[in-house]
Amino acid sequence: EAQVTQNPRYLITVTGKKLTVTCSQNMNHEYMSWYRQDPGLGLRQIYYSMNVEVTDKGDVPEGYKVSRKEKRNFPLILESPSPNQTSLYFCASSLSPPGRGLGVYSNQPQHFGDGTRLSIL
Amino acid sequence: AQSVTQPDIHITVSEGASLELRCNYSYGATPYLFWYVQSPGQGLQLLLKYFSGDTLVQGIKGFEAEFKRSQSSFNLRKPSVHWSDAAEYFCAVKADRGSTLGRLYFGRGTQLTVWP
């Protein structure tokens, strides 16, 4: 079954304790992305990756790191979490970036994971 | 920079009534536009997308949206709402070129409540 898997689904932790949220997709997608969702703000893109070893900042990258060493994995790293990073996080992937690609690779929708709810105390 | 505005934070309709959710975007060229739906506790599901061509786009679950360049709008419609349509709806826009290629901008969402 095609899916995007995030772990953990829920985490409560304390300020300053490094944490990693993993994201894995089994669809051989090139494009992966992280979003955070906050009430009244919708989804905001944190980082995205066009392919292995290619990452770029989204709208709200401060306080986050990512890596893309393999095509299937795109972990989100909070080196020193702070309470303002309490949020609901979504990972997404698509065969090609939204709106890009040719032929069968064009217009590919993003597949979203089920979300990770982080609480930083 | 691209931006998306969803003017309505919360909309309530009766089951069977028609629905229109508004979305306005800001972008200099022809944008790529999307509508997503999020059910409680779930991730986002793509309803429909517009890239070019016919300005009336059909999506899943009986939804459609119309791209109007003159109004910078991409409103989502459904002729008859079902109780299962209760969810949060997000409009999104993506740049097709330049340094922001790959970035997706979401509106703040519209929460839909359906009365039986």
Between CA A94 and CA A112 the distance in angstroms is 9
How many inter-chain contacts (A to B, CB under 8 Å) are there? 67
Give the model's confidence band at B14: pLDDT under 50 very low, under 70 low, under 90 confident, else very high. Answer: very high
Tell me if B43 and A56 make a contact (CB, 8 A cut-off).
no
User: Token pair 């994995």 is at which residue?
Assistant: A73
Element (H, E) at A48: strand A42-51
- From the list B85, B93, B92, the residue with the least C-alpha distance to B111 is B85
Least confident of A86-95, A107-116, B7-16: A107-116
For residue B47, the chain A residue with the least C-alpha distance is A109
- From the list B114, B110, B43, the residue with the least C-alpha distance to B74 is B110
For residue B37, the chain A residue with the least C-alpha distance is A112
Give the number of other Cβ atoms within 10 Å of residue A5's Cβ. Answer: 14
The predicted-structure confidence for A8-51, as pLDDT tens digits, reads as follows 999 999 999 999 999 999 999 988 999 999 988 888 999 999 88
